Amino acid sequence: MLERTRRKNRTEVTFVLPAGHPAGEVSVVGDFNDWRPCTHPMAERPDGTRAVTVTLPVNERHGFRYLASGGHWLDEEGADGHDGRNSLLHT
């Protein structure tokens, strides 16, 4: 799930995964962090979900995916689209 907060010249995007799925550590990897694993690790919230917030400029399109332990890649079902390989986000 994606939660967005629009500010004057930026958008704060919170990437959220359900509790326990997938198991192990997960990070958000995308063009906004040069596809570097572990740059934006997801942390557990009090309700058990995991999340991380990334601040991005407004009116841009970004490709991203989730990278879980063991090299497992996951897509975001609630993304703004998919390009055949990555989930897409419009800020």
38-77 pLDDT, tens digit each: 999 999 999 999 999 999 999 999 999 999 999 999 999 9
For the chain, the C-alpha Rg in angstroms (whole number) is 12
Q: How confident is the model at residue 20 (pLDDT cuts 50, 70, 90)?
A: confident
Both tokens of 52, joined, read 């991380």
Q: Please state the domain extents for the chain.
A: 2-90
Q: Are strands 10-17 and 50-57 parallel, antiparallel or unpaired?
A: antiparallel
Q: For residue 22, give the amino acid letter.
A: P
Write down the architecture of domain 2-90 according to CATH. Answer: Sandwich (2.60)
Tell whether omega for the bond before 57 is within 30 degrees of 0, i.e. cis.
Answer: no
71-82 pLDDT, tens digit each: 999 999 999 999
The whole-model pTM stands at: 0.92
